[in-house]
């Protein structure tokens, strides 16, 4: 099977390694890719906002499957254009990707599907906004209705800050604050059947103890020793399967990865958000743990053939820590030289924002690398990840020191 993977981040590096490891994958192409991906796959220049360029590349390479990594091309409708050209693609149509592209749309589908989520109002005027803020009270949760690359959500006790953010959005969703640990749980869907992956947890704030600004994600781990033992079955039953059934009933089946961001509240599991693609950095801990061959799995989803699929997992834990550039997330510095990588057993260094120039390997984005360690438990996995990341030099860079720390302590206590 010849595969084209679209994207260039740490998520695509992890997906690329997973696809490459599947014996059925005979050729792996990635566009645009990155220097880490180029070590095992053929990379091609690509402007990912150009749907026709993606179709042209897939046709030129004569691939059997296209896998879309990031959200932009999905919401931009690239899967519709690929399917119209007769190409199998793992990724939702433009209409189905609205589950990520519009928070209001996601709320409507959840309401019709009976999926539990925070109560919310979509507002367009100041009067509506102020009313909604006062209905729910602090902490206020204010979300830009459209795609905002992880920066559209403000959670604050400060009413003025909440109001200012709301007024800066075109259309804004104001919702009830959900109290409880957050879990990311992904499902792979062929439009009718959805297969749940094991849960992961990511760390969205820039600094230790969940302080600092919201980011795309600073680290993740899986599995979650503290989570209810039926979390996968429960989420499949109450969230993933009803969403897939509702999307199919609307005539817009969801094919691809449905990412459920969940809050485990005292009143049960509630959905915080959906994304229409693999999460980053959760993918960097899930793919190394997944035993099921990835290329065959995604091909089955793309060709509507998932029924009866059971996933197999390694009996290990994985922890990933993001190395971020100085100034991330507000003003990341780029163009700095990255030192030589250490070789530490059971670790993988995924490139996220790197490029090669005359200086060597340099930083080119806010999240520069993500370093995953695996081990027999979280303590071993995190020791390895931290040992590896501590040996990488990049001026001004930083990483959180508490990824999976509490979970590893809780696990030891069990």
When CB distances are held under 5 to 8 angstroms depending on the partner's kind, the choice from ligand AMP, ligand GLY, none that residue 280 binds is ligand GLY
Q: What is the closest distance, in whole angstroms, from the C-beta atom of residue 193 to ligand GLY in the complex? A: 23
Q: What is the rounded distance in angstroms from the CA atom of residue 17 to the CA atom of residue 38?
A: 11
Nearer to ligand GLY, 63 or 403 (CB): 403
Q: Within a 13 Å sphere around the CA of 227, how many CA atoms are in the beta-carbon half?
A: 24
137 φψ region: left (φ > 0), alpha (ψ -120 to 50), beta (else): left
Q: How far is the CB of 84 from ligand GLY (least distance, A)?
A: 28
Name the β-bridge partners of 273: 261
Which of 53, 61, 147, 155 binds ligand AMP (CB under 6 A)? It is 155
Q: Which is nearer to ligand AMP, 64 or 145 (CB)?
A: 145
Q: How far is the CB of 34 from ligand GLY (least distance, A)?
A: 17
Residue 279 interaction partner, one of ligand AMP, ligand GLY, none, beta carbon < 5-8 Å per kind: ligand GLY
- Name, in order, each residue with C-beta under 8 angstroms of 156's C-beta and a sequence gap of 6 or more: 138, 139, 140, 142, 162, 165
CB of 11 to ligand GLY, least distance (A): 7
Q: State the residues that interact with ligand GLY by CB under 6 A.
A: 150, 202, 217, 275, 279-280, 282
Phi, psi torsion values for 88, nearest 5 degrees: -75, 135
**Residue 100 binds: one of ligand AMP, ligand GLY, none (C-beta under 5 to 8 A by kind):** none
The contact pattern for ligand AMP, residues 263-302, with x = CB under 6 A and - = no contact, is ---------xx-----------------------------
Cβ pair 172, 125 in contact under 8 A: no
Which CB atom, from 22 or from 273, has the smaller least distance to ligand AMP? 273
Residues 187-206 that bind ligand AMP (CB under 6 A): 204
175 binds ligand AMP (CB under 6 A): yes
Q: Pick from 261, 293, 327, 342: which binds ligand AMP (CB under 6 A)?
A: 261
147 binds ligand AMP (CB under 6 A): no
From the list ligand AMP, ligand GLY, none, pick the one residue 144 interacts with, judged by a Cβ distance below 5 to 8 Å according to partner type: none
Q: How far is the CB of 252 from ligand AMP (least distance, A)?
A: 21
159 binds ligand AMP (CB under 6 A): no
Dihedral of alpha carbons 68, 66, 371, 374, sign: positive
Helices (H), 85-219: 98-101, 103-113, 126-136, 159-168
Residue of 369, 319, 372 lying closest to 344 (CA atoms): 372
Question: How far are the Cα atoms of 265, 298, 365, 388 from residue 335, in angstroms, in the given order?
Answer: 43, 35, 9, 22
- Tell me which residue of 325, 179, 193, 209 sits closest to 248, measured CA to CA: 193
Burial 153-165 (b: 16+ CB within 10 A, else e): bbbbeeeeebbeb
Among positions 106, 118, 142, 220, the unique one binding ligand AMP when judged by CB under 6 A: 118
Question: What span, in angstroms and rounded, lies between the C-alpha atoms of 376 and 411?
Answer: 12
Q: Does 35 bind ligand AMP (CB under 6 A)?
A: no
Among 66, 99, 178, 325, which residue interacts with ligand AMP (rule: CB under 6 A)? 178
Residue 350: in which H helix or E strand, if any? strand 347-351
Nearer to ligand GLY, 12 or 202 (CB): 202
Residues from 51 through 70 that contact ligand AMP (CB under 6 A) = none
Only one of the segments 22-30, 43-51, 149-157, 374-382 lies at the binding site for ligand AMP (rule: CB under 6 A); that segment is 149-157
By a kind-dependent CB cut-off of 5 to 8 A, residue 202 interacts, out of ligand AMP, ligand GLY, none, with ligand GLY
CB of 361 to ligand AMP, least distance (A): 31
Q: Which residues contact 198 (CB under 8 A, 6 or more apart)?
A: 222, 223, 232, 286, 289, 311, 313
The C-alpha atoms of residue 142 and residue 165 are separated, in whole angstroms, by: 7
- Residues forming the site for ligand AMP (CB under 6 A): 118, 141, 143, 150, 153, 155, 175-178, 182, 204, 261, 272-273
């Amino acid at each position: 099977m010849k595969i084209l993977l679209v994207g260039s981040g740490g998520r695509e590096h992890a997906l690329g390694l997973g696809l490459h490891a599947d014996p059925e994958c005979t050729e792996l192409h990635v566009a645009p890719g990155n220097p880490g991906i180029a070590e095992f796959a053929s990379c091609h220049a690509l402007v990912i906002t150009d749907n026709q360029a993606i179709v042209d590349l897939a046709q030129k390479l004569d691939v059997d499957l296209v896998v879309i990594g990031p959200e932009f091309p999905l919401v931009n409708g690239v899967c519709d254009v690929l399917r119209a050209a007769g190409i199998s693609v793992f990724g939702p149509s433009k209409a189905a990707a609205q589950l990520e592209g519009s928070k209001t749309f996601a709320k409507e589908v959840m309401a019709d599907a009976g999926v539990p989520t925070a109560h919310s109002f979509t507002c367009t005027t100041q009067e509506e906004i102020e009313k909604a803020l006062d209905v729910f009270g602090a902490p206020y949760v204010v979300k830009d209705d459209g795609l905002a690359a992880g920066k559209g959500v403000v959670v604050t006790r400060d009413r003025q800050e909440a109001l200012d953010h709301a007024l800066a959005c075109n259309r804004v969703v104001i919702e009830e604050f959900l109290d409880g640990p957050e879990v990311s749980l992904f499902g792979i869907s062929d439009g009718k059947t959805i297969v749940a992956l094991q849960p992961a947890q990511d760390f969205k704030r820039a600094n230790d103890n969940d302080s600092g600004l919201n980011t795309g994600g600073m680290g993740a781990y899986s599995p979650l020793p503290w989570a209810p033992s039926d979390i996968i079955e429960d989420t499949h039953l109450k969230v993933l399967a009803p969403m897939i059934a509702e999307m199919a009933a609307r005539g817009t089946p969801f094919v691809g990865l449905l990412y459920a961001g969940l809050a485990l509240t005292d009143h049960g599991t509630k959905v915080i958000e959906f994304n229409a693609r693999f999460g980053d950095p959760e993918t960097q801990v899930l793919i190394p743990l997944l035993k099921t061959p990835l290329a065959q799995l995604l091909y089955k989803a793309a060709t509507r053939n998932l029924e009866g699929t059971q996933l197999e997992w390694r009996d290990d834990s994985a922890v990933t820590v993001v190395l971020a550039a100085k100034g991330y997330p507000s003003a990341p510095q780029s163009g700095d030289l990255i030192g030589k990588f250490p070789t530490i057993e059971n670790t993988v260094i995924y490139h996220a924002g790197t490029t090669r120039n005359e200086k060597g390997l340099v930083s080119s984005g806010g999240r520069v690398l993500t370093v995953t360690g695996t081990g027999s438990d979280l303590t071993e996995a995190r020791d390895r990840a931290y040992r590896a990341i501590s040996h990488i030099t990049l001026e001004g860079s930083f990483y959180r020191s508490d990824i999976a720390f509490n979970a590893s302590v809780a696990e030891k206590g069990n």
